[in-house]
Amino acid sequence: MPDLLLEIGTEEMPVELLSPMAVDLSLRVNRALAENGSLKGGIRVLYTPRRLALIATDVSTQAFDDEERVNTISHILGEPVNELVSEGVMHRDSSPVMFIRPIRYVVCLYGEQVIPLRVGNVVADRQTCAHWRSAAGEEITLSCAADYEQVLATGGVIVDQERRKQMTRDAITAAASEANVSAQVDDNLLARIADGVEYPQPVIGRVNLPPDLPAVFVKAVIRKAGFVPLDADQGSVVGFVGFADGPVDRDVVRVGYERVARSALSGCRLLYTRDREASLADHVSSLRNIGDEVGVGSLWEKTERLRTLSVQVAQALDASVGTVDRAAFLCQADLATWIVHEFASLHGIAGAVYAKLDGEESSVCIALEEGAVSNLERGRIPASTEGLAIAIAERYDHLATLLLTGNEAYAPQVVSAGDDLIGLLIGGKVDLDLLSVLGALREQYRMLAPAIRIEDLEGALRTCLKERLIHYLETKQEVTSRIASALPQTLRSNPYRSSACALGLQEASSKEGFALLLGSFAKLRTRFRVGNKRVFDPALFEEETERTLWREYLKAEGKMEGLLAKLDYEQAIDQLTSLWGAIDRYAEDVDPGAGSEEVRNNRLGLIASIVGLYTRVGNFAALLETDGYAPGEEKK
């Protein structure tokens, strides 16, 4: 079956929108073809700044003749394509189409056959465009859909964005190898470069370094100028690779690139010099006049909260409180510097550099740097406990302020902040209850948003943590949704302990004895009306079965206590399982209604205490329900 090619040729579109628009186009066309049962193969999305294209392989149409085939495909594609382009923002003539940039032509081929699809005022044909600076001239006639990529390549256009990215990566590797240095290729920068051209042509440049400018600043400047810095200690010179679009005279272009890089470095040097007129600590006072990222308070207030938070986290981590407090005091200060004003990606890193130059203690500088790197690279866990404390405090406060400003638990920013925080706590093995930390910050958060009750923030935080924790356990630790949803309520705000519990519970649930454990729990719930009063007097037990259960309970409780302190939930559950025989005999021999009220209440006190052990390692009622047992029904 033939392939279907659709290409929308435009003037240069915003690079950051290319990938999402291409995916959007593909989804719309895929849905339309699938609804008509026409798509037998897959869809490939291709794009450059001047075109969006897709190739659908093995497209079938039930048609008697060419005319009917043309009409069918036009009909299928017409709506989704016109819907997409009508969501744009720009027009330049009387065309009803307001695509993101003006449409110059449309190609639509089914095998060799032109599908005259109408997109706005433009009717599709088989004429595509070569690179606009191609010597071969701009217009190219396509004979069939299958030739598309190859024909365009001869016209100086690599239409496959992944191939352009690979060409870019290869060129950087080759340049680094030739210079006998290495190059750190940042994927985002690579994508930005490859998406911005139709044919990447490497141009290698070199510039003199301004004196004293820290290497990390040099790289940020070169990257911001759109070039890839080469790693090397070449004294006073730094190399970089830039990418021209299409054929150029590299010697001429190099002069311009070097001029741009030199100018950017010299500007950075001025900012750096201005920043160094004061110490990093001096910049802290300026934070009073700078708004925080969610617009509810100043960065000074944020700094105060971070100090409170990070010290609490430090205590849980057994980290140096003095170091953490100093790092928390300084960690926002670089937001008042010129360098971060211009290069936002240097926030945190610049602080660490300036702290070092100011002669701050090395542990403080390390904490600042690790906290910053953890912010920039999601999933990166700081190596030092002090750095970890700073990173956790920053994420926690970010999440709390997002919730304080009315963002819902499912808002993308909240989801991202929640995931980051949970990842840090579990990855960093931090045994910390996040809600208990909130207590020390009540007043600070209340001042930030007086209209919001702190109880509402607690509720929002609890909901968010529960949802993000379940997501983390299921996606990162392969915990089943049955187990992830059956964690003890009391652990929900302690992600690391929850994770240990979930993994222990999952392991234990695969053992034979787990069914017995669930069964004995079901019996207790069915036979006795278990209350919350966990008080009993052994002297009031009337039967030997009661005394046996009591002794077994004491043994299990003592061992579980030690195991839970070590977060060994699997062994703790094994200890609980050892009670099942005594529970079964008790449930069969003891009449819950026998004896005086005092004896009956005493009996319920023992049962409540035993159920209390269950609740420390899992929500067994939820587990029974997911197994299909209604409340009160015994597990057979």
Partner 1 sequence: MALQEIALCLQDFWKEEGCPTISPCGPIPAGVLTPDVFFGVLAPRPWCASQMVSVVDPSLAPYGDDPLSPIIDRHLQVTRCDPSSDLRARFIESLRMLGLDLPSRDIRFVAHNYGWKQSYLAVRAAGWRVLIDQIEVGSLSYLQRLGEIDFEPVPMMVEYSLGRLAISVGIEDEDVPTERGRQIAAYALECADPERINSLLSLHADECEQALAGGFYFPAYEHVLASVYLHSLFALHDSSSDEGQSGRAAHIADLASGCARMYVEALDA
List residues binding partner 1 (CB under 8 A).
11-15, 49, 89-94, 100-101, 133, 135, 196, 201, 203, 225-226, 242, 244-245, 247-249, 252-253, 255-257, 259-260, 262-263, 266-267, 270-271, 274, 286, 289-292, 295, 336, 338, 341-342
**Nearest distance from C-beta of residue 212 to partner 1, angstroms:** 16
Calpha distance 153→548 (Å, rounded): 83
Whichever of 13 and 145 has its CB closer to partner 1, that residue is 13
**Nearest distance from C-beta of residue 397 to partner 1, angstroms:** 16
CB 402 within 8 A of CB 460: no
Q: How far is CA 375 from each of CA 210, 221, 331, 366, 461, rounded to the nearest angstrom?
A: 28, 20, 12, 14, 20
Whichever of 196 and 348 has its CB closer to partner 1, that residue is 196
User: Tokens 């006190």, residue?
Assistant: 605
Whichever of 227 and 396 has its CB closer to partner 1, that residue is 227
CB 159 within 8 A of CB 48: yes
Look up residue 59 and give its DSSP letter: B
Whichever of 12 and 83 has its CB closer to partner 1, that residue is 12
CB 173 within 8 A of CB 228: no
Q: 581 pairs with which residues across the strands?
A: none
Q: Pick from 134, 60, 74: which is nearest to 106 by CA?
A: 74
**Nearest distance from C-beta of residue 278 to partner 1, angstroms:** 14
Whichever of 131 and 326 has its CB closer to partner 1, that residue is 131
Q: ∠256-259-264 over CA atoms, to 5°?
A: 130
**Nearest distance from C-beta of residue 19 to partner 1, angstroms:** 14
Return the SS3 of 243: strand
Q: According to DSSP H, which parts of 114-199 are helical?
A: 148-154, 161-178, 187-195
Residues 6+ apart with CB under 8 A from 276: 354, 357
**Nearest distance from C-beta of residue 60 to partner 1, angstroms:** 37
Calpha distance 85→105 (Å, rounded): 13
Calpha distance 123→40 (Å, rounded): 26
**Nearest distance from C-beta of residue 345 to partner 1, angstroms:** 17
Whichever of 274 and 566 has its CB closer to partner 1, that residue is 274
Whichever of 182 and 289 has its CB closer to partner 1, that residue is 289
CB 13 within 8 A of CB 100: yes
**Nearest distance from C-beta of residue 258 to partner 1, angstroms:** 9
**Nearest distance from C-beta of residue 402 to partner 1, angstroms:** 15
**Nearest distance from C-beta of residue 508 to partner 1, angstroms:** 50
Whichever of 42 and 291 has its CB closer to partner 1, that residue is 291
Return the SS3 of 108: strand
Whichever of 201 and 526 has its CB closer to partner 1, that residue is 201
Q: Which token pair is 609?
A: 């205490």
Whichever of 102 and 428 has its CB closer to partner 1, that residue is 102
CB 432 within 8 A of CB 375: no
Calpha distance 507→477 (Å, rounded): 12
CB 238 within 8 A of CB 210: no
